[in-house]
Amino acid sequence: MSESMDKMIEEFSEQYYGKIFYFCLKKTGNRTEAEDLASDVALDVIAALRKGIIPERFSAYVWKAARSRYCKWARSRYRESFSGEDLDCIGSDDVSVENAYIMKEDVNALRREMSLISKEYREILVSFYIEDKKISQISKEFSLPEGTVKTKLFQSRKILMEGMKMAREFGVKSYKPENVNLCKSGRDGTDGSPWKQVEKRLAKNILLEAYYNPSTIEELSLELGVAAPYMEDEVAALEEVELLTKIAGNKYETNFMIISADAQKAFVNKHRAIKDEYCKLAREIVDIIGEEAAKNGGKLFGGHQTFEELKWFLLCKVNDEVSFKVDFLKTPREKRGYTPRPFGGKWDMVGYEDTGGSDGINDDMTVCHDVGHEKIHFGVYSYHYKGFDERQRFYSQGQAETVYKIATGDTDNLNADIIKSLLANGLTKEENGRYIPQLVILDLPEYEKNAMEQAVSEDVYKTKILPLYNKMLGMQTELYEFVEERIKKDVPKRLFDRAWMLTEANVYMRGYLIMDCINTGYLKMPEPEEMLTSALGVYLFKGEFKRRVY
């Protein structure tokens, strides 16, 4: 007896007390009142157990005790607690406060079940009971035989009654929504997908829940505390752009990978373990390039930026040359490339669980790389740090083409509005009626020679730069293998074929590299008023844009 009692008290403390408190908070609307009420419920339950009462259905017993204690509380405060609708019920001599409360709970349960029942039943229920339509009229509206309408009404009533008998509770996400940080690579759809579909917190929580627990509409509605009609619309929008996939049992599962907070912390620790040596090697490569440039007049890549300004571009390009080669060698070529999507999109998405503000991926600095213009290799490194966030990050095809024309001297018939935008962003300047580019310009396509090869002689590249580059390559290869192994512990098997993309996304050292160089003084931050008009990290390779093959 004592062992059974102790087990139930432990079960109550661990599994029920928090839920009882939330129930009381919802009913009283006051935290202090809820704490007192929850304590009273706990005392009632524990006192009964200590008297030797061992209920057959412990869950039902606990909630009966909670409702009973709430009724006593409500009776003493009914003038303040109940609405006019409740007072009408209470005013009758043959209806007690407790019964009035129970009747209200039944109505609430019915409303809850109506909000959760699937669309095929809900529409017929609403038509028949709420809109008072006849069976024949419903039959015509929904193009169903009258017998089918009657059958669905019978089935829906049965579903409602079964649901009302269940002690359903909304999930934690209904009152404590979570967040997931999303990162997309590739080309957006013409409708704005996928960003258009995930801008609301509700959509993110649907994706989080369906990632770990493939769920029906009803299950999602309960977990997130959202009525099924609204949930159906949200799910349909996510399914349309393939962020959700429908599977057996009318369940939906998230169709991209989400990295857990624990995995992110493991990645961060691994990055930090190699950061100092890795950054040192990158700086040495950039310094060699600077020394060679000084011997040849000090001008590099069009001569439009000083070497101090060029460092922002060179550090990222050195890192990316290492990263891209590791990716290329580690990822089978047939798997590379983004997934074709509806509305002309071609993209893939990666999610990152919220880490609570500490030890996330590149907490201090994230450097994004934006390319993808048709036939033109025009790119922007976006440094998400202080005032840099306000710079324009995405450039249109028209803007990229205009930059290319200016860089190659083809300045006839330029679009005035585009020129105005490029002047405002510091990508060009006007001098004696001519437009002079202010970005980094490389004369050869990258697939022929990378930035390091174009900056120095072949001998310097092979004897001085390549040994340092190979050391960085070895470090990133080890990092890639660590991340790949950790990801496969985290990612559902159904998504293993896309794990390469997640691995690529988490071995880039750009953020650590740039942050380290700012902290050591190797990179000099521009003045705040110069940040919006700075072309730091903006570049153009002449020639057609092609992916490099190693």
Which residues are paired to 428 by β-bridges? 437
User: Is the backbone of residue 333 left (phi > 0), alpha (psi -120 to 50) or beta?
Assistant: alpha
Buried-state track 289-299, b at ≥16 Cβ within 10 A, e below 16: bbebbeeeeee
Domain spanning 179-255 has what CATH number?
1.10.10.10
2-81 shares its CATH topology with 179-255:
no
Q: What's the pLDDT at 336?
A: 65
Q: CA 27 → CA 34, 279, 389, 544, distances in Å?
A: 8, 57, 45, 66
What does pTM read for this prediction?
0.61
First vs last C-alpha separation in the chain: 73
The parts of the chain modelled with pLDDT lower than 70 are 1-3, 14, 75-118, 129-130, 156-177, 332-336, 356-367, 369-373, 500-508, 545-550
Q: What's the pLDDT at 87?
A: 34
Indicate the SS3 state at residue 434: strand
Return d(Cα 171, Cα 177) in angstroms, integer.
10
Q: What's the pLDDT at 361?
A: 44
From 11, 42, 47, select the one nearest 24 (Cα to Cα): 42
Q: What's the pLDDT at 7?
A: 76
Instruction: Please tell me the total number of residues recorded for the chain in this structure.
Output: 550
Write down the mean pLDDT value for the chain: 79
Identify whether the C-beta of residue 465 lies closer than 8 Å to the C-beta of residue 456: yes
Domain ranges of the chain: 2-81, 117-165, 179-255, 261-544
Q: What's the pLDDT at 363?
A: 44
Backbone angles phi, psi at 330, to 5 degrees: -90, -25
Degrees, nearest 5: CA angle 335-337-339: 95
Name the fold adopted by 2-81: Rna Polymerase Sigma Factor; Chain: A (1.10.1740)
